Amino acid sequence: MTRVLFEVGRLIGRRDRAAPTGVDRVCLAYDRWLRGLKGVTVVPVHTTRRRMTALDPRWVGDRIAELAHRWTGDASAAPLPAETRLIRALTGPRPSRSLLDAPTEVETGRGRRTVERLLRTRPLPEPRRGDVYVDVGHAPLDGPYGLARLRTQGVRPLVMIHDLIPVSHPEFCRPGEGPRHRSRVRAALTHASGIVANSVATAEALAAFAARENVTPPRLVAAPLGLEALFAGPRWAPGAAPYFVCVGTLEARKNLAFLLTVWRRLAETMGDAAPRLALIGRHGWENEAVLDLLERSPPLQGLVHHAADLPDAALARLMTGARAVLAPSAVEGFDLPALEALSLGVPVIASDIAAHRELARGARLIDPLDGPGWTSAIASACAVVSPRAIFTPPTWPDHFAAVAPLAGLPEGR
């Protein structure tokens, strides 16, 4: 019987979130996969720089099931009030003001959650030779209880690196995140038994980083991420009123200040015929320019709207009615929303960067600084066009078929 120490700290820490990030989705998918493997015992653990602790498996399972239900939503249920308001603002008479959401949380109480988690903490079973440690959420890997200690105990660590953006583009991240991520990645390269990259672009960035750091990397596999079932199968049905959708955290690397400048130009040149835009995502780091444009730019009022948290069911409905999904990021490791849109048959206009060239097959790619190019592409997309060719997205079974051999685990197909 193989024992897997599965890092769940990120998921348990997301218990207040009404909607997931891309990394959160990956953690959920790995939880489903590991729990479904025959001959595998899963021990949920939470790692900090100071210690690793085990958590009550049943309690963790219940909390993760709650998260998955909340984040997925109900495709057969009536739209939530927030979704209805947003659709009305995007397709009805233009309101005088934009809808601007603040981040929302599920009210559970941070102090109570901390005490509850402590009560559910169990002594960590002594790691033994042959155990597998799985971390796909960028947990602390370089502390005293990190990967180096696990390797001395005979544990095989399997780690996913989602991107090297804090190292390559620290200007887009919180101060200090660059050195922290560099240390995290070095620990993975030095002590992991296998590393999973979510794209060839990320794998190449990792290999280049290892060469610069003079580190010999372990076995490395590039395995694109799968999509949730709600995004499977084309069903694009754009409405008469043209609107566009852009999904992602409101942060500098998403290039949203540029996109809103493009929208100002569309408002100036197209007048009342200018399309509307929905930005879907939580507030992130270095977003002051975006918020200033949303709150204070007169041409954007009633034209550009923001929703902080939408479950998958609402997001899929919103995408299918759009003329296109926009992905103008300056840099990405994967970009899940772009692939979700393509899987739904929705046209995608994306920045011409490595991850999009590799994964977003069929998207219209434009330089992320080409203002006239983006303006022209969006204006052209306001006319309804024929559905795109069928896009075949990557799948979770294929992902795990590539990942399982790194840690000696069954695929679980």
DSSP 337-392: HHHHHHHTT--EEEE--HHHHHH-TTPEEE-TT-HHHHHHHHHHHTS--PPPPPP-
User: Are 58 and 114 members of one domain?
Assistant: yes
Number of domains in the chain: 2
User: Could you tell me the CA-to-CA distances from 25 to 135, 226, 227 in Å, in that order?
Assistant: 13, 10, 9
Same structural domain for residues 330 and 362?
Answer: yes
Does some domain include residue 413? Answer: no
169 and 197 together in one domain: yes
Task: Assign residue 352 the CATH number of its domain.
Answer: 3.40.50.2000
The answer to the question of residue 390 being in a domain is no
Q: Report angle CA 303, 309, 311 to the nearest 5 degrees.
A: 115
User: pLDDT per position in the chain (413 positions), as tens?
Assistant: 899 999 998 998 887 788 888 999 999 999 999 999 999 999 999 887 777 888 989 999 999 999 999 999 888 888 888 899 999 999 999 999 999 987 554 444 444 454 455 446 666 777 889 999 999 998 877 766 688 888 999 999 999 999 999 999 999 988 999 999 999 999 999 999 999 999 999 999 999 999 999 999 999 999 999 999 999 889 999 989 999 999 999 999 999 999 999 999 999 999 999 999 999 998 888 788 899 999 999 999 999 999 988 899 999 999 999 999 999 999 999 999 999 999 999 999 999 999 999 999 999 999 999 999 999 999 999 987 777 778 999 999 999 999 999 988 887 65
Q: With respect to residue 387, please indicate whether it lies within any of the assigned structural domains.
A: no
Nearest-angstrom CA–CA distance, 318 and 280: 10
Are residue 122 and residue 96 in the same domain, yes or no?
Answer: no
Query: Both 140 and 45 in a single domain?
Result: yes
How open is the CA angle 280-285-291, to the nearest 5 degrees? 60
**Would you tell me how many other CB atoms lie within 10 Å of the CB of residue 385?**
12
Judge if pTM exceeds 0.85: yes
DSSP structure string for 184-207: HHHHHHHH-SEEEESSHHHHHHHH
Residues 239 and 353 in one domain: yes
The reply to whether 388 falls in a domain is: no
Whether residue 248 is contained in a domain is answered as yes
Same domain, 124 and 191: yes
Cα 355 to Cα 101, 162, 348, 351, 385: the distances in Å are: 29, 12, 14, 9, 26
Q: What is the DSSP letter of 402?
A: H
SS3 60: helix
What is residue 132's three-state secondary structure? strand
Domain span including residue 284: 78-104+229-381
